[in-house]
Structure 1
């Protein structure tokens, strides 16, 4: 019975506290807020003092921050290789006249090694191949850390064995068609079979290497902020209707021919490279390589210089396809390597033709090989291959002007160096006859 009277007594007490004629409401017990009451509260609790102090501290920070930033960028940065987490890129900034910067949107880029003095970490895909191994030698000699990625389809460990044990050299057996995660400053993307014998052996694999491999390496460059160099080819010009070929020439390529897995694959790789540059701000460089020769070329790989040299050493007839009046331009490998490094360290995207403008017909090349190896060597004519270009000669005026580069080694100077290497490998039977 006592519990029945308690609610009534509580209700009665609330009725006495409320003014007459007004029903009870919990919200009516709260005092209405007004401006004078809030000001009094701030003054009484010293909240206003804390607000003013906070405003003062914030204003001081935003005023001094730009000055501190300018002071910090003028001091040299300390660098410890491999100390940056994934996705973080270290940039050395150098004032060049009008504060020139690399890349898009005013982003600061890396400074060439000769300027910054900082040891770079560089990855070379296809670094166990002919050109790649010579490039690795030059980068190691400059004091850089080099990581070679190669699946050894055409590359050879023998090309790099002299670097085994060097603390600045690493070798990874990997196919660039599959992604890979690394922390590097520069990427030289050379991975792709370059001779007709090799890229025709598995054309689907060739175009996958050109497309998927380039996509993977560009994706890596985007994630880690590395500069990317694509080694394209003079084959993007196809069977040219312009002679000599300038970088502005769009080419005359058969998109469904036997060579298109390589020709169109490289053209697609150039497209991807420029799309990553324009769309994602990746620092890129494009080199279009013309015929190159030198030590460490694959024996019997179908390229004319290696074919002639190997055949002459073996006392076999030199094979000339067609009438032998097709023209090519031949550069020694050291000239190409110097051009690639100049392009990577420079400020221009390209594309750049890298080749020797000295032009030879196939019969003229055969005569030079005979003079160098065996004057009694003979020539054997065969039917020409499909889509074989009739003319190939680079216009290198752009590289001369913007890269300060041009080839130095003539064919008669460079060919004996290649002959010595081929003679040792053939006579010692260090490798097989290649793929037919």
Structure 2
């Protein structure tokens, strides 16, 4: 049985990756320090025979007993509300954490996949964004702590690949959504859906003309899985190329939720990208991958999840002993 370590395992994407690799017959070691991850995302796995959880901060030395075949490094704050609140930890997990995991991969002779992001492109001057675009990033702006952590992460990963011959993979993740997102994480979809569920007006920053491209989580996980098992060592965009303006998207949310909220406008945050759309030609060519789930279908699933499972206090009262389960 192949063994894989997934950092950030209690996060949105990390927990879905745990499920996928278990379903593919792997033994999964999940690692998280819960700085932004949520223990409830792993509750369904705490008795699974092919799952082990380790509570640990990857910015500290990482040690795993026995053989290890693969590492997926997904430990990092991923939303502005998080990395603006904990900027130092964000920089450390992208630098020290990545260094520790690359060292572990070298020691174990394991293949490692690094979770990068479309934010390496900054506020892009090229549209759509291709992997050979170097980006337009403000290194000293408030978003720089995340953008530059990820850019450094890519650089040190390629250095280990070239200097040590390490088997590396780099995925540049574009906006992804689906069940297990947090309603309060500040990203567009949970923010809009949370406001709709609370009966609040939907908040648009700027004039709403800025664009995003949303990829459903199952499609994202499929692309990541294929990339890990591929022979390609350089960055690959994984995202949905169907672009929509934030204003149009707000109207879709109001229609989906069957609510009658108004849209209110606030100032655009510093360095917020005006366009975000992946060019996925490379993923199509080397992975035979493209997204399958349409936005209408994916949004219905996501909204139903939020309606059903967003009651945090209820969950915690029902599963208050979960933390002891996964720590032991």
Instruction: Give me the TM-score of the superposition, normalised by structure 1.
Output: 0.71
- Residue 364 of structure 1 is matched in structure 2 by 248
**SS at structure 1 position matched to 2:306:** helix
Instruction: Report how far residue 350 of structure 1 moved.
Output: 2.3
1:130-149 matches, within 5 Å, as 130-149=12-31
Structure 2: gaps spanning 5 or more residues: 317-328
- Residue 7 of structure 2 is matched in structure 1 by 125
Alignment length (residue pairs): 314
Which residue, 284, 292, 295 being the options, matches 1:408? 292
Indicate conservation of the 8 Å contact 1:328/1:391, yes or no.
yes
Matching of residue 299 in structure 1 with residue 183 in structure 2: yes
Matching of residue 156 in structure 1 with residue 38 in structure 2: yes
Q: Which has the higher strand share?
A: 2
Indicate conservation of the 8 Å contact 1:154/1:298, yes or no.
no
**Deviation per residue, 1:371-413 (Å, 9 max, x gap):** 1112412211111100000000000000000011000111101
Structure 1: gaps spanning 5 or more residues: 1-118
1:9-408 matches, within 5 Å, as 119-182=1-64, 183-408=67-292
Q: Give the Cα–Cα distance (whole angstroms) in 2 for the partners of residues 325 and 168 of structure 1.
A: 46
**SS at structure 1 position matched to 2:260:** coil
Aligned-residue Cα RMSD (Å) equals 1.2
**SS at structure 2 position matched to 1:201:** coil
**SS at structure 1 position matched to 2:297:** helix
CA distance 1:427–1:280, change in 2 (3 Å) = closer
Indicate conservation of the 8 Å contact 2:183/2:193, yes or no.
no
**SS at structure 2 position matched to 1:188:** strand
Instruction: Report how far residue 431 of structure 1 moved.
Output: 7.4
Instruction: Give me the TM-score of the superposition, normalised by structure 2.
Output: 0.94
